Amino acid sequence: MIKLSIIVPVYNAEEFLEKCLTSLVNQTIKDVEIILVDDGSTDRSLEICKAFAAADSRIRIFEQENSGQSVARNLGLDNAIGEYIAFADSDDWVDENFYEKLYKAAIRNSADIACGSVIREKKSAGKIRVNYKEEKVYLKAQEKIDAAGVPNMCYVWNKVYRAGFLKSIDLRFVNGMVFEDTDFVTRAIYYSNKIVTVPNTYYHYWTNENSTVRTMRSSDKKRLDSLRSKKLVLEFFERHKLTSNPKNLVKKKDCVKFMGLVILKTYEWETKKVYYLFGLIPILEKVSYA
């Protein structure tokens, strides 16, 4: 068995794909496989994947009709043979030692999951979103949830997951749902035997204005999927008596626009609804009591 399988869904990513794949093939951990799942790309993405595969035997390519990122990730899971599993997005990149550090920390601590730090990259500048300062093990459910930043930072790609653990709980992504990370990561963190945080190495998340979430044709689907994912987490937290900052568990969000300008936003929780003028200024709060 190889040490690590890295699963990368690919869809019309020719602008960023070479940088992503270069960072993966240059990892300091060499005993890996890189699973590229082309999701029916119509640009040069598949051609780029094949060029990298021709130069590196560790790369395996799978093709599917355009079915979405969640389906692509599940296809990757079905075919992965690594001891641990990782996910990367095709417009992101990682530090050269990222996966070696996470893998070794997971092995050293017999952890189901190892978590690394995250930098959100933009054209202007990068911003640290997750920054672990020490290698630390978490065992209790609430401590694991808090350390991983669930649910407001349900990043699937800054972690490695023990493959046997994922199979033991039959964990999959919800097919066809855009915000599939939220449910997957919440369950993975909760059911893991332990997680370990890993300092001094970063996953670089590119904020792409043309990403799947930002350019989805159906804004209604995006909104419904967002609500669906949050509902799944709300129900999971309630069922397992977990707590979180209330603003992370919004049940419903609405927006009123005029000529493209946000006039009013509303956020609804279990017991209250807050109205924000221009999406920023809280002007009214309604509280309901049982």
How many angstroms from the chain centroid is the CA of residue 98?
A: 16
How far, in Å, CA of 20 to CA of 16, rounded? Answer: 7
Q: Are residues 31 and 131 in the same domain?
A: yes
Classified as helix, coil or strand, 91 is: coil
Res 289: pLDDT: 47
| Cα separation values, 114 from 110, 172, 189, 230, Å | 10, 18, 10, 24
Q: Write the CB contacts of 47 (distance below 8 Å, at least 6 apart in sequence).
A: none
pLDDT over threshold 60, residue 209: no
Q: Is residue 178 part of a domain?
A: yes
Q: What is the pLDDT of residue 200?
A: 97
Percent with pLDDT over 70 in the chain: 88
- Residue-wise pLDDT tens digits, 261-281: 888 888 775 556 777 777 777
Q: Are residues 120 and 264 in the same domain?
A: no
Q: Residue 17's pLDDT band (boundaries 50, 70, 90)?
A: very high
pLDDT tens-digit series, residues 159-180: 999 999 999 999 999 888 777 7
Give the residue from 101, 121, 122, 120 showing the smallest Cα distance to 111: 101
Containing structural domain, residue 270 = 250-290
Q: What are phi and psi of 284, to 5 degrees?
A: -155, 140
Q: What is the pLDDT of residues 30-84, one digit of tens each?
A: 999 999 999 999 999 999 999 999 999 999 999 999 999 999 999 999 999 999 9
Pairing of strands 261-268, 4-10: unpaired
Give the neighbor-by-neighbor strand order of the sheet with 281-287.
252-258, 261-268, 272-277, 281-287
- In sequence order, the 6+-apart residues with CB closer than 8 A to the CB of 168 are none
- Burial status of residue 198 (CB atoms within 10 A of its CB: 0-12, 13-18, 19 or more): buried
Q: Identify the pLDDT of residue 249.
A: 55
Pick from 131, 143, 132: which is nearest to 194 by CA? 143
Residue 112's closest CA among 69, 146, 159? Answer: 159
With cut-offs at 50, 70 and 90, classify the pLDDT of residue 215.
very low
Is the model more confident about 211 or about 155?
155
Tokens standing for residue 20: 């992503």
Q: Indicate the pLDDT class of residue 221, thresholds 50, 70 and 90.
A: low
Q: Within this chain, do residues 131 and 264 fall inside the same structural domain, yes or no?
A: no
Asked which of 212, 240, 274 is the last residue of a domain, the reply is 212
Count: domains in the chain: 2
Together in a domain, 20 and 151: yes
